[in-house]
Every structure is written in structure tokens, then in C-alpha cells.
């Protein structure tokens, strides 16, 4: 078993790759009553075109299969639903699908091992029939329609579609009402057998565990499956340029919502991504974070109603910045942000502001290690990006104003920037 220790947060990560290819990560927290587990598969909404290991032909499936599969996994052959079983045990259980992975999870203070029995049983034993697959279509169609009526989601997806021409990230995670009606049990079984192989999965535990004992408990509950070779995922080539600069849609909102997106290149070397991510977070906070001069000015003029949400999203398949907020005049916000970026490019970064924001972000990263659910989510999300979460804590110490200025000039480009607005028709 590999052990990685981080002295900054006094935490250890235990990693074991089992014979069947399953990776198990354990972050022990002595004396903590709460235990958290996530079991994830590297299979998300963007994985619609692939070659199954051992086959030669390309398999293409309808949009929304990964999310549909996640919905169906809880249903058991004996007529029970595993979510109900876990709730009856007194644990808080859930599952979710993202663009690049799906995960099943629960949080427990008692009954941890009975709950682990249930989790490992339902994730390894899918039960799909023509009837139960058909029955789910109406439920998921309602969910899709609900998101179509949700302004926060619409304004975000419109920004994504303004940035990306071919990348499947522009497709809703749940698919469309039309695409889900093409899903049947054979498609679900094919995708399950391809992507739910242990070699494509990771389990992450955080709580008061003895790693060796926990590994044995996991092994006892595993069904024997052969260690599969790598799945070949097929994505269309994405042009560097954006699709269009601006999009506006009318919906029932009290104040216009906006997303400013900046399309980025996917880093070629994985080791650079953590450093780049930190630099972008520092820059976003310097430009329009709560302590920035621009934010104070726009807030005082009532052009920004509250602090905008700042994010850098990336996988090995896409990367972009999003700035999300509420404003009576989103076009003015974009204009002011682009102006501020140009000033920073011309004048360089203020060293005092740089250090203050870097220290604040480092402090926020350290705080995430106080909560078992935050730790597990962080490690599993980073794992599917090829990152060890401890790397962030080390890279903060290395980041310099010079490197951050380089990223400012490379990434924060007007020609890669889009604006999505949702506002009232009145």
C-alpha cells in the first residue's frame, strides 16, 4: 500500500490498487464519528462514443446514458430500492453524474458496514428490464424539462454552447427528452459492462478507519471480474475559437443573470494543471473577487447585486473559466471586467494583492481538510483529472507573480470570451 503524507495539513493518503484494477483511497481521520465513502467510475455524460475493450467497432450511444444508468442502479431484482434500504439504516446516501464521472456515496455515523454491504451490492449487480427502463423515461423527461425551466442552468448551458462547437460538454448531462427515449436495457448493460469495470473505478473513504482492515472489508465484498484494458474514448476535435460572443434569452427572472465564459486550451502536460488552476483562481479574485476594487465599484453603483461565483472547470478534454452573477446591466459588467484585465496586463500584478489573495485561497484549501465529505469529494474529483489533491497545497508555495502574469496573458483573451444573459422579457 502506498502512503502519501502532507505535513501542511497533517494528513495521510493510503492508496491500494487491487488485483482487479480497482483503486482504493483512504484518508483516515482519527476520533471523527462521521464516515464517508464514494465509489466512482470514470464515466460521464461526455462518454457517448467509445470502443469497448476487446472490440474493434465504435459504439455510439444516445445522450444521457451515464445519468440514466445512475438512476437505474438503485433498483434491485427483489423489488427493493437501495436508496430506501440505506435510508432505513440511518445513513445519508446519494449519487450524481458529472461530465466525466459518476459516483455513488453515503455518509454514516452508525451502521457503516451494513451500509457498505448495500452500496457494494447494488453497484455490482445492475438489474435492468424492458419494463423498469421504460418506466424511468417519464421521470427523467420531467427532470430534463425542469432544468430547461431553471434560469441558472439555462444561462450556464448557453455560455457553454457559445464556447464549444463539437465538445460533448455542450450536451445536457441528462441528455434530451428525445435522446432518452432511445435508451433501452441493452444499451444500459453495454455501458455498465464497459465503464463499471473495477479498472475504471475508484473508491474513496474518509473517517476513522484502519486502512489495512478496511481494504480487507472491501475485498470481501467484491465480485470477481477480470481486469479490463483501457477504454478508447472518442471525441470530435474541438476548434480553439469560440462559437459566438453573446447570447440572450428571456425567462421569468426578477433581475438579469449572466455567465461570462473564457474558453481555454486543455493543458498538454498534466503536471502544469494544478499550478495553472491556482494562478487562474488568484487572477479571478484580483479582477472581480469580493476584495477587488472593481467589485467594490460595481457593487456601490448597484451594477453587481452580490459577489459573482468564480470557477475554472477542466478535465483532460476541456477547460474554461466562468464568472456567474446577477446584474441589471451584464454587458457593462463584461466591459468593466475586460477593461480591468487589460489594465492588469499593462501594469502587472500588485504584489501585495497577489500575496493576500494567494494566502486567502491557500487558507480555504486547508479548511477543506476539516470535513470528511469535502475531503472525499475533493480527492475523487481530482483523481479523475489525474491529480492528487495534496498537490494543490504544495503548488501554492511555488506560485509566483511572474508565472501568474504569464497565465493572465495566455488565458484571459477577449477573442475567447463569451457572454450569456437570461433576462425578463418585460
Catalytic residue set: 70
CA distance 359 to 353: 10
CA distance 69 to 58: 20
CA distance 240 to 76: 45
**To the nearest 5 percent, what fractions of the chain are helix, strand and coil?**
45, 20, 35
Distances (CA, A) of 73 to 107, 389, 392: 18, 29, 34
Task: Tell me, rounded to whole angstroms, the distance of Cα 121 from its chain centroid.
Answer: 25
Supply 308's cell numbers. Answer: 459573482
Burial environment of residue 211 by CB neighbours within 10 A (0 to 12, 13 to 18, 19 or more):
buried
Helix 273-288 with 330-347: angle, nearest 10 deg: 110
Supply 265's cell numbers. Answer: 486550451
Instruction: Please enumerate in sequence order all residues whose Cβ is within 8 A of that of 8, keeping only pairs 6 or more positions apart, or say none.
Output: 366, 393, 394
Residues found in the chain: 426
Q: Looking at residue 281, what DSSP letter applies?
A: H
Given the C-alpha cell 494528513, which residue does it identify? 11
Task: Check if the beta carbon of residue 91 is closer than 8 Å to that of residue 116.
Answer: no
Task: Check if the beta carbon of residue 100 is closer than 8 Å to that of residue 384.
Answer: yes
C-alpha closest to that of 412 among 347, 355, 351, 340: 340
Alpha helix segments (H runs only) across 150-244 = 151-163, 177-180, 185-195, 211-221
CA distance 178 to 173: 14
Task: Check if the beta carbon of residue 336 is closer than 8 Å to that of residue 283.
Answer: no
Task: Check if the beta carbon of residue 382 is closer than 8 Å to that of residue 388.
Answer: yes
Amino acid at each position: 500500500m502506498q502512503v502519501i503524507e502532507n505535513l501542511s495539513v497533517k494528513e495521510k493518503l493510503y492508496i491500494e490498487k487491487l488485483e482487479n484494477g480497482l483503486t482504493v483511497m483512504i484518508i483516515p481521520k482519527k476520533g471523527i464519528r462521521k464516515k464517508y465513502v464514494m465509489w466512482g467510475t470514470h464515466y460521464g455524460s461526455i462518454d457517448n462514443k467509445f470502443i469497448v475493450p476487446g472490440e474493434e467497432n465504435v459504439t455510439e450511444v444516445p445522450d444521457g446514458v451515464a445519468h440514466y444508468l445512475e438512476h437505474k442502479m438503485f433498483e434491485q431484482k427483489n423489488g427493493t430500492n437501495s436508496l430506501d434500504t440505506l435510508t432505513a439504516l440511518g445513513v445519508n446516501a446519494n449519487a450524481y453524474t458529472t461530465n466525466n464521472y459518476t459516483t455513488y456515496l453515503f455518509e454514516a455515523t452508525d451502521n457503516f458496514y451494513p451500509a457498505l454491504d448495500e452500496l457494494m451490492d447494488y453497484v455490482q449487480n445492475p438489474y435492468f428490464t424492458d419494463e423498469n427502463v421504460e418506466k424511468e423515461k417519464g421521470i427523467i423527461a420531467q427532470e430534463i424539462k425542469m432544468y430547461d425551466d431553471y434560469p441558472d442552468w439555462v444561462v450556464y448551458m448557453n455560455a457553454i454552447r457559445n464556447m464549444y462547437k463539437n465538445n460533448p460538454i455542450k450536451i445536457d448531462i441528462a441528455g434530451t427528452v428525445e435522446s432518452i427515449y432511445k435508451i433501452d436495457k441493452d444499451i444500459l448493460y453495454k455501458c455498465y459492462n464497459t465503464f463499471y469495470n473495477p479498472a475504471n473505478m475508484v473508491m474513496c473513504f474518509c473517517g476513522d478507519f484502519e486502512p489495512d482492515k478496511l481494504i480487507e472489508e472491501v475485498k470481501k465484498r467484491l465480485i470477481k471480474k477480470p481486469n479490463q484494458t483501457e477504454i478508447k474514448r472518442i471525441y470530435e476535435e474541438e476548434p480553439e475559437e469560440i462559437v459566438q460572443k453573446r447570447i440572450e434569452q428571456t425567462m421569468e427572472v426578477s433581475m438579469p443573470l449572466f455567465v461570462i465564459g473564457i474558453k481555454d486550451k486543455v493543458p498538454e502536460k498534466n503536471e502544469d494543471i494544478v499550478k495553472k488552476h491556482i494562478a487562474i483562481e488568484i487572477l479571478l479574485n484580483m479582477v472581480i473577487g469580493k476584495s477587488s476594487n472593481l467589485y467594490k465599484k460595481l457593487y456601490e453603483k448597484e451594477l453587481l447585486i452580490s459577489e459573482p461565483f468564480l470557477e475554472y472547470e477542466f478535465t483532460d478534454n476541456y477547460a474554461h473559466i466562468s464568472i456567474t452573477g446577477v446584474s441589471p446591466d451584464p454587458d457593462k459588467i463584461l466591459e468593466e471586467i475586460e477593461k480591468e484585465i487589460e489594465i492588469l496586463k499593462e501594469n502587472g500584478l500588485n504584489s501585495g494583492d497577489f500575496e493576500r489573495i494567494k494566502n486567502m485561497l491557500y487558507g480555504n484549501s486547508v479548511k477543506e481538510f476539516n470535513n470528511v465529505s469535502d475531503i472525499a469529494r475533493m480527492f475523487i474529483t481530482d483523481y479523475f483529472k489525474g491529480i492528487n489533491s495534496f498537490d494543490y497545497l504544495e503548488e501554492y508555495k511555488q506560485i509566483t507573480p511572474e508565472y501568474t502574469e504569464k497565465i493572465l496573458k495566455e488565458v484571459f483573451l477577449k477573442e475567447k470570451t463569451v457572454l450569456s444573459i437570461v433576462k425578463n422579457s418585460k
